[in-house]
Structure 1
Amino acid sequence: MTCAILDDEPLALDLLADYCAQVPGLELKGQFDDALVGLAFLQDNPVDIVFLDVHMPRLTGLQLAQLLPTPGPRIIFTTAYDQYAVRSYDLNAADYLLKPIAFDRFVQAVQKVRQQLASAAPATLPAAPASPEAPVVAPDAMFVKNEHRLQRVAFDDILYIEGMKEYLMLYTTAGKVLTLQSFRRVEEVLPPDRFARIHKSYLVALSRIEHVERGKVQIAGRLLPIGDTYREPFFNLIKAYNLL
């Protein structure tokens, strides 16, 4: 399958391009930070999938989707705002990815389009010969919104994450990063075998735990509480992690 990416954030473009390179059978034909330039390319260069940011200057992703040729590519919208999900499905979008985008969620969206294209193909066409799939490399970092940029945060650098109402404070070996994000979205991105929610306000890196005592976890010299709701699954997880 062929694809193109339209996003006005350079880091988001780089992240999606990297994801595309890791998926066997997915060929990136172009990436654009200008909606009008991307539209001109798509009108002359048909692709199977367009990863389309909702918020772009001059022309939004929702407006651009209505200007694409018919029959056009499958649209996968990408945005940090979930309030546009209903509108995107009104435009027959194949999928809707919320930033920060987890690699497994990206692969799921691509597979959905792959299945749609396969079911829409004429039954008389011979099946393409199977080719050995290259191993998919798991991501080692995530991108989070920090002020007016997307900041890369390596999983290995994360000590713990603290919830602060609608914000999250990421404590890392390089310092603190404040981002407007929910625990739910971050938990979808983080490897579940390396991180654990221990409290409604705290999520910790298992490898950074110094010790556990009296219902608290110490990381980087700070004691963090273990909530009653999270106590049993947390202790089951660290037993599996061979910390006990």
Structure 2
Amino acid sequence: MNCLIVDDNKIARATLKQLAAQISDLKVAGEASSALEACNLLREKPVDLLLLDIEMEEMTGLELTRHLGENRPVIIFISAKEEYAIEAFELNVADYITKPVQPARFLQALDRAREIIDSKSEHINVHADAFLFIRDSNVVKRLGFDEILYAEAMGDYVKLHTTHRFYAVHSPLKTVEERLPAQRFIRVHRSYIVAVDKIDRIEQGALVIGGKPVPVADAYRNALNKRLNVL
């Protein structure tokens, strides 16, 4: 992997170069002290990976990411602040690391970047199809789609139920539905979305998922039966 380090702090760039030098398949192709400089370098010499700071003068790392569009390198954000994490992951980046960068965390982020690069896809949505990111007790957590049993609307929140616990997300159910892949999830009630492959059985007009009943509204029943290919 060829990478470009983009950070307006000289010490931060030096730290990343030292870490990168210890990774056998990672080569630092260059460094930039601003997003504008990075744009120019990328025109001259495209890279596989951007190690990108966020808070920079003239243009932020988030703005650079939007400017580069779909035909961009894989991006790992490296920032001193956590507050940009949700916005960053909405741009389908590979990972988000907070400073000071820990070697183990850096290796973990590189593993995710390799998965994307090895897939020979320039669009990071390929990787994003496997999970979404949620805020859990002020920590941004990756939650795999295969972990979710069903989503339940509860007022201004949505409870994402998994086998062992649920996560409360401050969001309308419609927004959550838009984030969940339609090929894996289906709306069965105005308050419920379920993972099709997690349905155990249907009895007394309700689905049973993980031993818990989930109601099915009449308005959604025909679509559900068609989706399940019920005989």
Question: TM-score normalized by structure 1?
Answer: 0.49
The alpha-carbon deviation at position 150 of structure 1 amounts to 1.2
Q: Are positions 1:174 and 2:160 aligned together?
A: no
Query: What SS class does the counterpart of residue 176 from structure 2 fall into?
Result: helix
Match of 1:151 in 2: 141
The alpha-carbon deviation at position 233 of structure 1 amounts to 1.9
The counterpart of 2:4, out of the listed 19, 29, 47, is 29
Query: What SS class does the counterpart of residue 237 from structure 1 fall into?
Result: helix
Question: Does the 8 Å CA contact 1:102/1:188 hold for their aligned counterparts?
Answer: no
The residue correspondences of 1:95-134 to structure 2 (distance < 5 A) are 101=90, 134=120
Match of 1:46 in 2: 39
Q: Are positions 1:186 and 2:179 aligned together?
A: no
Query: What SS class does the counterpart of residue 204 from structure 1 fall into?
Result: strand
Query: What is the CA deviation profile of residues 185-217 of structure 1, one whole-angstrom value per residue up to 9, with x for unaligned ones?
Result: 322222211111111111111111111123211
Distance in 1 between the 2:120 and 2:191 partners? 39
The alpha-carbon deviation at position 165 of structure 1 amounts to 1.3
The counterpart of 1:216, out of the listed 194, 206, 216, is 206
Question: Does the 8 Å CA contact 1:147/1:179 hold for their aligned counterparts?
Answer: no
Q: Which runs of 5+ in 1 are unaligned?
A: 1-20, 22-26, 77-96, 107-132
Query: What is the CA deviation profile of residues 90-138 of structure 1, one whole-angstrom value per residue up to 9, with x for unaligned ones?
Result: xxxxxxx9786385xx8xxxxxxxxxxxxxxxxxxxxxxxxxx935645
Query: What SS class does the counterpart of residue 182 from structure 2 fall into?
Result: coil
What amino acid sits opposite 1:101 in the alignment?
Answer: E
Question: Does the 8 Å CA contact 1:157/1:174 hold for their aligned counterparts?
Answer: no
Match of 2:17 in 1: none
Compared with structure 1, are the counterparts of its residues 229 and 100 closer, same or farther at alpha carbon in structure 2 (3 Å cutoff)? farther
What amino acid sits opposite 1:235 in the alignment?
Answer: N
The alpha-carbon deviation at position 237 of structure 1 amounts to 1.5
Compared with structure 1, are the counterparts of its residues 31 and 142 closer, same or farther at alpha carbon in structure 2 (3 Å cutoff)? farther
The counterpart of 1:202, out of the listed 187, 192, 207, is 192
Q: Which runs of 5+ in 2 are unaligned?
A: 14-31, 44-49, 68-85, 94-118
Identity across aligned pairs (percent)? Answer: 26
The residue correspondences of 1:3-14 to structure 2 (distance < 5 A) are none
Q: Give the length in aligned residue pairs.
A: 156
Match of 2:21 in 1: none
Query: What SS class does the counterpart of residue 34 from structure 2 fall into?
Result: helix
Distance in 2 between the 1:176 and 1:207 partners? 18
Compared with structure 1, are the counterparts of its residues 180 and 29 closer, same or farther at alpha carbon in structure 2 (3 Å cutoff)? farther
Question: TM-score normalized by structure 2?
Answer: 0.52
Distance in 2 between the 1:185 and 1:178 partners? 14
Query: What SS class does the counterpart of residue 134 from structure 1 fall into?
Result: coil
Query: What SS class does the counterpart of residue 45 from structure 1 fall into?
Result: helix
What amino acid sits opposite 1:134 in the alignment?
Answer: K
Match of 1:165 in 2: 155
Distance in 2 between the 1:185 and 1:238 partners? 24
Query: What SS class does the counterpart of residue 39 from structure 2 fall into?
Result: coil
